[in-house]
């Protein structure tokens, strides 16, 4: 996988395209993205941070005020502005970004996408240990592990496109 990622990175910098890291929440998009960007002197962009900056609200507050549909609308606006830049960047997308057909098309047209993945049990453990579960609105229900498995089952075929 690392050699594939390096090939994508080289292609991206030579073609002046972004690299969009896609995959489920907790799979390492932000951590990997920061390291790649630093190593290759590219700008790093965390899409969630752009959403917060543009909306003036936390992700949780957006979900609480308007639900997932309002959040996805904010996410589309953020992604559109990020992809409009002609300077290549490493972009850590949200876990559901690539599941949205519109955003998936934008990414496929403007960036090289790299799918980062982890086993469901590893994701559950990471999200439990990170203390980040509370910041992930889709995991707020009574069975976060079941939600992770359900969403992974639903999104994995889309990530692989």
pLDDT tens column, 32-69: 999 999 998 999 999 999 999 999 999 999 999 999 99
Query: How does residue 144 score in pLDDT terms, banded at 50, 70 and 90?
Result: confident
Rg over alpha carbons for the chain, rounded to the nearest Å, is: 15
CATH topology of domain 2-159: Rossmann fold (3.40.50)
Instruction: With beta carbons less than 8 A apart as the criterion, state whether 19 and 90 touch.
Output: yes
Instruction: With beta carbons less than 8 A apart as the criterion, state whether 117 and 110 touch.
Output: no
The full DSSP string for 80-103 is HHHHT-SS-EEEE--TTGGGSHHH
Percentage helix, strand, coil, to 5, in the chain? 65, 10, 25
Q: List the one residue out of 48, 57, 111 whose CA is nearest residue 75.
A: 48
Query: How does residue 132 score in pLDDT terms, banded at 50, 70 and 90?
Result: low
Q: List the one residue out of 80, 79, 81, 112 whose CA is nearest residue 94.
A: 79
- Mean pLDDT over 100-116 rounds to 96
Q: How far is CA 68 from CA 73, 102, 121, in A?
A: 9, 15, 25
Query: How does residue 12 score in pLDDT terms, banded at 50, 70 and 90?
Result: low
Please say if the pLDDT value at position 6 is more than 70. Answer: no
pLDDT for res 145? 83
Q: Which residues contact 132 (CB under 8 A, 6 or more apart)?
A: 26
Q: Which residues contact 27 (CB under 8 A, 6 or more apart)?
A: 95, 116, 117, 118, 123
- Mean pLDDT over 103-109 rounds to 97
pLDDT digits (tens, 9 = 90+) for 21-36: 999 998 999 999 999 9
pLDDT for res 30? 95
Q: Which of 10-19, 26-35, 79-88, 95-104 has the lowest mean pLDDT?
A: 10-19
Query: How does residue 129 score in pLDDT terms, banded at 50, 70 and 90?
Result: confident
Model's pTM, two decimal places? 0.86
The length of the chain in residues reads: 161
pLDDT for res 47? 98
Cα separation, 65 vs 56, whole angstroms:
13
Tell me phi and psi for residue 142, to 5 degrees: -75, -15
């Amino acid at each position: 996988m690392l050699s594939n990622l390096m090939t994508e990175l080289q292609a991206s910098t030579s073609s002046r395209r972004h690299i969009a890291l896609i995959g489920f929440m907790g799979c390492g998009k932000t951590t990997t993205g920061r390291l790649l960007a630093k190593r290759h002197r590219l700008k790093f962009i965390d899409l969630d941070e752009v959403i917060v900056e543009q909306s003036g609200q936390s992700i949780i507050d957006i979900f609480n005020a308007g639900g997932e549909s309002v959040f996805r609308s904010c996410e589309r606006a953020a992604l559109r502005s990020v992809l409009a830049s002609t300077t290549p960047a490493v972009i850590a997308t949200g876990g559901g970004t690539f599941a949205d057909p519109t955003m998936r098309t934008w990414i496929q047209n403007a960036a090289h996408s790299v799918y980062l993945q982890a086993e469901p049990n590893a994701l559950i453990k990471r999200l439990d240990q990170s203390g980040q579960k509370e910041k992930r609105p889709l995991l707020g229900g009574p069975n976060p592990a079941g939600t992770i498995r359900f969403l992974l089952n639903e999104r994995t075929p889309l990530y692989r496109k």
